Amino acid sequence: MRSLPPPIPGAQGQWCLRKKLERRGVKTFGHFHCHSCDNRWTSAHAWAEHGQKCKVCRQKGWIKPWALWANASRQKSRAVPGPPHIANLCQRCTKGLPCSTV
């Protein structure tokens, strides 16, 4: 865990296992790992209670982040440049819940 770089250079906080950080309703950064094809990715739109789909193998089922970023401050995370959020690979987006605009 300690070897993981912060999602934004200089960000104050730490990566936590999702099991230890069930921050429901809070969007944060997440690390994902697909066990079917060993694909790994990070997302700025990660939710403890919602998963994403692996865009490599598109296996059934949602993959929940194994690690989530816990901000040290209560500041809202600012928007960061990154790959566009793919709504149809996101469980939350497919449910019609606010996600990338939160």
Residues lying near Zn ion in the complex (CB under 5 A) are found at: 34, 36-37, 39, 45, 54, 56-57, 90, 92-93, 99
Our CB check for Zn ion shows the closer of 12 and 38 to be 38
Q: Phi and psi of 32, rounded to 5°?
A: -120, 150
Burial classification of residue 61, based on how many CB atoms lie within 10 Å of its CB (0-12 exposed, 13-18 middle, 19 or more buried): exposed
Q: How far is the CB of 29 from Zn ion (least distance, A)?
A: 13
Our CB check for Zn ion shows the closer of 44 and 90 to be 90
Q: How far is the CB of 23 from Zn ion (least distance, A)?
A: 16
- 3-class state of residue 93 by DSSP: helix
